[in-house]
């Protein structure tokens, strides 16, 4: 929802009707009423009627009364407002976490409960109530379009994939130690690329730690193996000896940007030595990098598919990385990946 949004009242509807009759445009009316243009267009649709002029020609016009009657009918059709949502402060707090922080209703409520924030309000609210209230339109600033895609809570049972053909670029995932699959040991990575509007433009290299799901997001000038190696070189120099404990293995797909297996594994600090071990997934088996896929999906909530990455600054990319890592996760009891990552890093430093 745009900043400065205000709900349309009957008084504002009358003002809108008056402005339109006076010849003001939608943009001018929206500015004078201090609402967004989309709100005015929605109002025009809600209150439209066909007016027959003296010459028997027809014209579509807006009626504040018709719009208000439709609004009142829709509100009554929703049913009784949940008692807990009559607390405007509670509703505002929930809206702030969903709209401004990008949380799901579940993450918003559980965060408030865990932090003790929910204790400030007279009533408590469950996640189901929030979802139902959004569906029925009780929240003025939230619609289902503001929520993450609703997903099936039943996790798919992926069977182990057996393929004869091995990855062409290097060691196949079939040769990766089985204990890595259990996610019990810290320091095993998955790596992927997020492309922008065109593959030739800037891309993001995403590296996610399998145990904590903490993600590293780096902007690159292009989707090439050279850029991937250069990014890993920078990380190796930046992290020092911690790099080798943090990047024990890296699992990637068979994309061309990961074709330089030797360059990815080769240390830029210690000549002749390896800094990590790379494993390549089977073709068309994204389930073998499930953490990476989920992390990229969260990034897409901030950078929608088809959006150019060229214009994003390093600071903006860092903000997106922080948002993903600080997001409360159900699998961790609504702790964040950042919290778990910090705990694990204490043992490496």
Which of the residue ranges 52-56, 70-74, 225-229 has the most confident prediction, judged by mean pLDDT?
225-229
Residue with token string 């979802």? 131
In the structure encoding, which two tokens stand for residue 277, read together?
């071990």
Each residue of 73-83: pLDDT tens digit?
776 666 666 76
Say what the pLDDT of residue 275 is: 98
Is pLDDT above 60 for 163? no
Each residue of 170-205: pLDDT tens digit?
899 999 999 999 999 999 999 999 998 876 789 999
Q: Which of 338, 331, 330 is nearest to 109 (CA)?
A: 330
| Averaged pLDDT score across all residues of the chain | 86
Who contacts 124 (Cβ-Cβ below 8 Å, separation ≥6)? 84, 113, 118
Angstrom distances, CA of residue 233 to CA of 23, 124, 226, 244:
63, 50, 11, 12
Residue ranges of E strands in the chain = 48-52, 58-62, 188-195, 203-209, 215-220, 249-252, 277-280, 328-329, 335-336
Within 10 angstroms of residue 156's Cβ, the number of other Cβ atoms is: 8
Q: Answer whether 212's CB lies under 8 Å from 246's CB.
A: no
Say what the pLDDT of residue 306 is: 86
Say what the pLDDT of residue 191 is: 95
In the structure encoding, which two tokens stand for residue 15, read together?
């003002």
Within 10 angstroms of residue 220's Cβ, the number of other Cβ atoms is: 19
Q: Which of 255, 268, 144, 109 is nearest to 195 (CA)?
A: 255
189 - beta bridge partners? 209, 250
Q: Which of 13, 39, 14 is nearest to 26 (CA)?
A: 39
Q: Answer whether 281's CB lies under 8 Å from 288's CB.
A: yes
């Amino acid at each position: 929802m745009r900043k400065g949004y205000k709900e349309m009242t009957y008084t504002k509807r009358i003002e809108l009707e008056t402005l339109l009759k006076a010849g003001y445009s939608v943009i001018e009316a929206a500015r004078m009423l201090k609402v967004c243009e989309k709100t005015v267009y929605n109002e025009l649709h809600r209150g439209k009627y066909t007016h027959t002029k003296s010459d028997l020609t027809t014209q579509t016009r807006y009626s504040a009364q018709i719009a208000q009657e439709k609004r009142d009918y829709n509100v009554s059709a929703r049913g009784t407002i949940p008692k807990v949502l009559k607390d405007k402060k509670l509703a505002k707090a929930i809206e702030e976490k969903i709209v401004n922080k990008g949380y799901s209703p579940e993450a918003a409520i559980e965060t408030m409960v865990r932090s003790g924030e929910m204790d400030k309000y007279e009533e408590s609210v469950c996640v189901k109530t929030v979802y139902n209230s959004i569906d029925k339109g009780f929240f003025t600033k939230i619609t289902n379009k503001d929520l993450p895609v609703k997903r099936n809570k039943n996790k798919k049972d992926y069977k182990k994939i057996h393929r004869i053909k091995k990855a062409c670029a290097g060691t196949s995932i079939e040769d990766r130690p089985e204990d890595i699959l259990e996610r019990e040991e810290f320091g095993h990575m998955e790596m992927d690329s997020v492309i922008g509007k065109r593959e030739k433009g800037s891309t993001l290299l995403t590296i996610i730690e399998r145990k904590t799901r903490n993600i590293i997001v780096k902007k690159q000038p292009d989707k090439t193996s050279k850029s991937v190696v250069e990014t890993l070189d920078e990380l190796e120099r930046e992290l020092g000896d911690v790099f080798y404990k943090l990047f024990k293995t890296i699992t990637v797909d068979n994309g061309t940007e990961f074709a330089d297996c030797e360059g990815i594994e080769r240390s830029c600090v210690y000549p002749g030595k390896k800094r990590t071990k790379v494993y390549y997934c089977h073709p068309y088996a994204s389930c073998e990098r499930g953490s990476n896929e989920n992390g990229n999906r969260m990034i897409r909530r901030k950078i929608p598919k088809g959006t150019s990455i060229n214009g994003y600054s390093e600071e903006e990319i860092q903000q997106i990385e922080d948002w993903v890592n600080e997001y409360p996760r159900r699998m961790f009891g609504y702790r964040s990946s950042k919290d778990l990552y910090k705990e694990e890093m204490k043992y490496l430093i």
